[in-house]
């Protein structure tokens, strides 16, 4: 459905994270290697990051394919950040193609990306959602419940919609949170920082796959993985 990544560590250019690796998000927008649902991710993209001296994240989003954004390609090499979330979108059938539907979503403090799908009927109405798409409604629910309850929110939504795929990435500028539920996620730990991604952006042997139904937390002190226990379907 989508591909996304997050980085926490020493500042890196957006180009080094999104455009330059051999299997970057740019490449994954037209030739993903591990995508189980859909074949291309051409229905929009977004990048969010924290600039030095700012408490709120900045975002760049569009409904156009990443490979068609010459302006981003020209700016990305000179913009660096130590906490980044980026995503390319493959829209669920019937969902609108609009900038506001592209991740990452925000509540002004957190950034959040959703790789997957969920039946909108199991999600509460949200006037503050950025779009009517399932991912935006899910993001609004997560923000309302609080990121401390991320694991519980995912298991409850999965119980209400057993066919949901709920891989989430979230960041607040100082840490990353993620869930795996129905799709792939890999982690890379280096001396410079830690990356989470739907699929590895290169063949570095330090990449490892995160088991399905796991809550992941990344801080400057390391990576913690906690199994998520399914609830009985409602």
Q: Is the pLDDT of residue 32 over 80?
A: yes
Tell me, yes or no, if 83 is annotated catalytic: no
Q: Which has more pLDDT, 97 or 12?
A: 12
CA distance 94 to 174: 36
Cis peptide preceding 104, ω within 30 of 0: yes
* pLDDT digits 0-9 by tens, 208-217: 999 999 999 9
Which of 91, 83, 86 lies closest to 52, judged by CA?
A: 83
* pLDDT digits 0-9 by tens, 41-84: 888 999 999 998 889 999 999 999 999 999 999 999 999 999 99
Which of 125, 230, 135 lies closest to 181, judged by CA?
A: 230
* pLDDT digits 0-9 by tens, 164-184: 999 999 999 999 999 999 999
* pLDDT digits 0-9 by tens, 77-98: 999 999 999 999 988 777 778 9
**Bridge partners, 106 (sequence order):** 111
Sketch out the chain's domains with CATH numbers.
Answer: 2-227 (3.60.20.10)
Collapse the DSSP code of 43 into the 3-class scheme (helix H, G, I; strand E, B; otherwise coil) and give the result.
Answer: coil
pLDDT of residue 81: 98
The catalytically annotated residue of 1, 2, 87, 118 is: 2
For residue 209, give both structure tokens: 């796959």
pLDDT band at residue 125 under the 50/70/90 scheme: confident
CA distance 23 to 199: 9
Collapse the DSSP code of 120 into the 3-class scheme (helix H, G, I; strand E, B; otherwise coil) and give the result.
Answer: helix
Which of 224, 189, 179, 218 lies closest to 83, judged by CA?
A: 218
Q: 38-42, 44-48, 115-119, 123-127 — which is least confidently predicted?
A: 38-42
């Amino acid at each position: 459905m989508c591909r996304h990544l997050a980085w926490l560590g020493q500042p890196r250019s957006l180009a080094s994270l999104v455009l330059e690796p051999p299997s970057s998000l740019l490449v994954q927008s037209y030739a993903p290697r591990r995508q189980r649902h859909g074949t291309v991710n051409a229905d929009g993209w977004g990048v969010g990051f924290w600039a030095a001296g700012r408490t709120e994240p900045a975002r760049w989003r569009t409904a156009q394919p990443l490979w068609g954004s010459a302006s981003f390609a020209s700016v990305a090499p000179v913009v660096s950040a130590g906490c980044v979330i980026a995503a390319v979108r493959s829209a669920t059938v019937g969902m609108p193609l609009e900038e506001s539907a592209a991740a990452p979503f925000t509540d002004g403090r957190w950034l959040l990306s959703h790789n997957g799908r969920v039946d909108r009927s199991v999600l509460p109405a949200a006037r503050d959602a950025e779009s009517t798409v399932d991912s935006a409604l899910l993001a609004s629910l997560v923000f309302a419940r609080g990121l401390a309850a991320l694991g519980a929110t995912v298991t409850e939504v999965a119980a209400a919609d057993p066919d949901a795929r709920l891989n989430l990435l979230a960041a607040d500028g100082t840490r990353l949170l993620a869930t795996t539920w129905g799709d792939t996620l890999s982690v890379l730990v280096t001396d410079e920082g830690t990356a989470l991604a739907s699929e590895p952006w290169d063949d570095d042997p330090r990449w490892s796959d995160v088991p399905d139904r796991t809550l992941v937390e990344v801080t400057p002190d390391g990576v913690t993985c906690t199994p998520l226990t399914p609830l009985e379907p409602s």
